[in-house]
Structure 1
Amino acid sequence: MKKIAHLLFIGALCLSACSKQDKSNTDQPSPDSNQEAPAGKVRRCATGEVLKQQLLDDPTLAQRMQNIEKLTEEVTRNRALFRLLPDGSIEIPVVVNILYRTTAQNVALSQVESQITALNQDFNGLNSQYNTLPPIFDAVKAAVGVHFRLKNVVRKSTTVTTWGTNDAMKKSSQGGINPTTPDSVLNIWVVGGISGGVIGYAQFPGGSPATDGVVIAYDCFGTNGTAAAPFALGRTATHEVGHWLNLRHIWGDANCGDDLVGDTPRHNTANYGCPAYPHRSTCTGTPIEMTMNFMDYTDDACMAMFTQGQKTRIDATFLPGGGRNGFAH
């Protein structure tokens, strides 16, 4: 079991942006990754520029995040602090904001709905792989009990070919779409392209409401239409919504790092593609890595689970002071 240390929260938060790398990409790996990404189309972490810039722009952000982390530690120690809604779940209304330059980027309603379905399956242990996971993880796998409901789709034509990671897509003054009531609605922006090959990024609890939500590239969104393998099962959004609900990467963004969850094995670094089971870490105890966890970087087809510890971290966000309390009413 890993010791949860609230003083690590800033370092573990610094890498929420996820990217894909094609074979022709010659960029060096992120300094926070200790393993070269394999050739081909894979998930890969971008730099920590999104959060780092937010911390620079807002001197009060670090303290808000630290307060959320302290609350999360309290809930981890005492689950009785958290009380579920009467039906045993949290419902999260979702507004999908589509910024399109081409007809293909103006994703169809059926594709939007397929993403909502994928989120509901993944967060509730209803995907097809959940009951076929290695038995070693049966005791810790979790149906989180969070449900998603499509509230609205907002569409806007744009001349922008590639968006940056400076949240311009979230601001009408910069050609984007302002978020809809972010204190009680999850906003997802679907865009035609993001610089640096990024396919998605999220904002952690505690950030500015004006930029709160998740950004996903149109060809990594949903399970039909323009969604393209190996990111065609909607799990880019599952991963990023995990960040939005205060989950870290499973390898803790460091060699044998800490994701602040007690029931996930220590990972050397990110895993890519579909590693053969069992894939052992060289960290202390050489544990079998949980490569099928949604917070690793494996392909969509090889992701399938959250853990009880990750569920606890998510639950804590819905308490007063947790950053997502507006969704618990």
Structure 2
Amino acid sequence: MKKVVLGLATLAMVYACQNDQMDTNSNDFQEVQVDMTDFTLLVEDEGSLTGKSVQGADKCHSMNNLAFRLENNPGLSKKMYDIEYNTRKAIALKANGKGKPGGGSGGGGGTTPTIYTGAITIPVVINIIESSPGKVTDAQINSQIAILNEDFNNNNSRTSSIPSEFAVAVADIDITFTRGAVIRKTSSVSSWGTNDAMKFASQGGIDATDTANNLNIWVCEIGGGILGYAQFPGGASATDGVVIGTDFFGETNAGGIYGHGRTATHEVGHWLNLRHIWGDGRCNRDDFVADTPTSDAPNYNCPSYPTVNCRSTDMTMNYMDYVQDDCMYMFTNGQNDRMRALFVSGGPREGFVN
């Protein structure tokens, strides 16, 4: 098992002191404290996932890509820590009724804004690297945009079958995705891997388009049975976005149980700062969301209900698990708050609303 461990305990102590010192000048400090003791960027390589899925697919390599980015960008850990601190403070302010939660600017009381509450529209630039012109069809593109809009607006028809235990947690994220530019390039590269080569024209790929105001999705042959991966907020703008394997983009027969567009939903969740629902660790590792149950590993295929781990029922139908596309159909209110904290003034995704 490969582990990348950063000095986050030290980092937490230093920055917590700095943030608390700044907060003493804020009207919110006495009412809102931010606990960062559980925050980690520990990345565990789960090894080969072949056999855990009936299709033998390695669903998501976002954490592996994060490990690669952390090793090559010494400042990334601090950026991600700061984003997490601001996310938690915004959520705490909302919970305590502080600030101004209005939908327009999302501005809040003191120096810390609250959760952005307005409707959000995200233009999507689709960068296609294909072996022959038109291999990725226009129908695939349109279906993928439609699926993202279903899932981020709580219009997935399967949500009606959610267990009553989780019904109260289901969220309408109120994010609309619009089809933007489609950029195509023909390439003989059969496996692009997960180190972002497809994102650079200098390496045979396609350069990103205005990542402050567009979600960039690269569609290509990743290789290794990998369905997709995403960059978390805080990373370099030149590589910001989501990568999806050609067979798993939109509605495709070639994708099998992963051919219904939910890989993009999962990866866009990461792009909006969601972790895997099991926290990428054992029972004591969390996804930093209060209304998702603790678990110790991903679920695959289409698990029966209830599936119990860590003394609680797994939310296997959450988009941030590893189940097949037809068996995932919800985000939670807590995940909604976490995503929306990114869009406030000064947040890493504010360009989409300002």
Question: Could you tell me the TM-score, scaled by structure 1's length?
Answer: 0.86
Alignment match, 2:229: 201
Tell me which residue corresponds to 1:21.
none
Q: Secondary structure at the match of 1:229?
A: helix
- Seen in structure 2, the aligned counterparts of structure 1 residues 168 and 91 have a Cα distance that, compared at 3 Å, is same
Quote the residue 1:24 is aligned against. Answer: none
> What's the CA shift for 1:323?
1.2
Report the aligned-residue RMSD.
Answer: 2.4
- In structure 2, what residue type is equivalent to 1:305? M
- Indicate the residue corresponding to 1:280 in structure 2: 308
Q: Partner of 2:279 in structure 1?
A: 252
1:138: Cα distance to partner? 1.3
**What residue ranges of structure 2 are gaps of 5+ in the alignment?**
1-33, 106-116
Is 1:78 the equivalent of 2:93?
A: yes
User: Is the contact between residue 293 and residue 305 of structure 1 (CA under 8 Å) also seen in structure 2?
Assistant: yes
Higher relative contact order (CA 8 A, sep 6+): 1
Aligned counterpart in structure 1 of residue 345 of structure 2, from 307, 320, 323:
320
Instruction: For residue 196 of structure 1, report the CA deviation from its aligned partner.
Output: 2.4
Q: What is the alpha-carbon distance in structure 1 between the residues aligned to residue 171 and residue 254 of structure 2?
A: 27
| Residue deviations 1:157-208 (CA, integer Å, cap 9, x gap) | 11211101110100000000001100110000000x2132211000000100
Partner of 2:209: 180
TM-score (norm. length: structure 2): 0.80
Any residues of structure 2 matched to 1:110-125 within 5 Å, and which? 110-125=139-154
SS at match of 1:75: helix
Same amino acid, percent of matched pairs: 45
Taking a change above 3 Å as real, the CA distance of residues 123 and 216 of structure 1, as seen in their structure-2 partners, is same
Residue 181 of structure 2 aligns to a residue in which SS? strand
Give the one of 272, 290, 294 matched to 1:266. 294
When residues 38 and 177 of structure 1 are mapped into structure 2, their CA distance, relative to the original with a 3 A threshold, is: closer
Secondary structure in 1 matching 2:229? strand
Q: Measured at CA, do residues 143 and 61 of structure 1 come closer, stay the same or move farther in structure 2, by a change above 3 Å?
A: same
Change (3 A) 1:299 1:237: same
Pick aligned residue for 1:94 from 124, 128, 131: 124
Cα contact 2:242–2:268 (8 A) shared by 1: yes
Q: Is the 1:43–1:299 contact (alpha carbons within 8 Å) kept by the matching residues of 2?
A: no
Partner of residue 315, structure 2 = 290
Code of the residue aligned with 1:56 in structure 2: it is: E
Indicate the residue corresponding to 2:4 in structure 1: none
- The answer on whether the counterparts of 2:123 and 2:179 sit within 8 Å (CA) in structure 1 is yes
Q: Confirm or deny: 8 A CA contact 2:87 2:341 kept in the other structure.
A: yes
Which runs of structure 2 are paired with 1:217-236 in the superposition (5 Å)? Answer: 217-224=245-252, 227-236=254-263
What is the DSSP-based 3-state SS (H/G/I as helix, E as strand, rest coil) of the residue aligned with 1:6? coil
Shift of residue 328, structure 1, vs aligned partner: 1.4
Shift of the 47–99 alpha-carbon distance from structure 1 to 2, 3 Å rule, reads closer
Task: Give the letter for the 2:103 counterpart.
Answer: L
